[in-house]
Amino acid sequence: MAKKGILLINLGTPDSPSTADVRKYLDEFLMDPRVIDVNPVLRTFLVKTVIVPFRAPKSAKLYRAIWDEKTGSPLLHYSLLQQQLLQQRLGDEHIVELAMRYQSPSIDSALQRLKEALVGEIQVIPMFPQYASASTGSVHEKVMSIVSTWQTVPPISFINSFHDNDLMIETFADNAAKHNPESYDHVLFSFHGLPQRQLKKCDHTGNYCLKVDGCCNTLNDTNKFCYSAQSHDTARLIAAKMNLPKEKYTVCFQSRLGSDPWVQPYTSEIIAQMAKEGKKRLLIFCPAFVADCLETVYEVTTEYGDEFKALGGEHVQLVESLNAEPKWIEALAGMVN
Ligand X SMILES: C=CC1=C(C)c2cc3[nH]c(cc4nc(cc5[nH]c(cc1n2)c(C)c5CCC(=O)O)C(CCC(=O)O)=C4C)c(C)c3C=C
CB neighbour list of residue 329: distance below 8 Å, 6 or more residues apart: 82, 85, 86, 89
- Dist CA 204 CA 273 (whole Å): 34
Q: Which stretch binds Fe ion (CB under 5 A): 66-74, 147-155, 223-231, 280-288?
A: 223-231
Is there binding between residue 216 and Fe ion (CB under 5 A)? yes
Task: Report the site for ligand X in 10-69 (rule: CB under 6 A).
Answer: 11, 13, 26, 35, 55, 59
Out of 50, 257, 310, 311, the only residue in the binding site for ligand X (CB under 6 A) is: 257
Task: Identify what 216 binds: ligand X, Fe ion, none; CB under 5 to 8 Å per kind.
Answer: Fe ion
Is there binding between residue 294 and ligand X (CB under 6 A)? yes
C-beta of 31: minimal distance to ligand X in Å? 11
Task: Identify what 162 binds: ligand X, Fe ion, none; CB under 5 to 8 Å per kind.
Answer: none
Is there binding between residue 209 and Fe ion (CB under 5 A)? yes
C-beta of 127: minimal distance to Fe ion in Å? 13
Is there binding between residue 73 and ligand X (CB under 6 A)? yes
Q: Which stretch binds Fe ion (CB under 5 A): 219-227, 236-244, 316-324, 325-333?
A: 219-227
As annotated, the binding site includes 192, 295
Residue 264 or residue 273: which is nearer to Fe ion going by CB? 264
C-beta of 154: minimal distance to ligand X in Å? 27
Handedness of CA 67, 194, 106, 319 (dihedral sign): positive
Residue nearest to Fe ion (CB): 215
Let me know: does 99 contact 9? Beta carbons within 8 Å.
Answer: yes
Let me know: does 9 contact 111? Beta carbons within 8 Å.
Answer: no
Out of 195, 287, 305, 313, the only residue in the binding site for ligand X (CB under 6 A) is: 195
Q: How many residues line the site for ligand X (CB under 6 A)? A: 22
C-beta of 67: minimal distance to Fe ion in Å? 18
Burial of 226 (0-12, 13-18, 19+ CB in 10 A): buried
C-beta of 290: minimal distance to ligand X in Å? 9
Binding site for Fe ion (CB under 5 A): 209, 215-216, 226, 228-229
Binding site for ligand X (CB under 6 A): 11, 13, 26, 35, 55, 59, 73, 75, 128, 132, 134-135, 192, 194-195, 255, 257, 288-289, 293-295
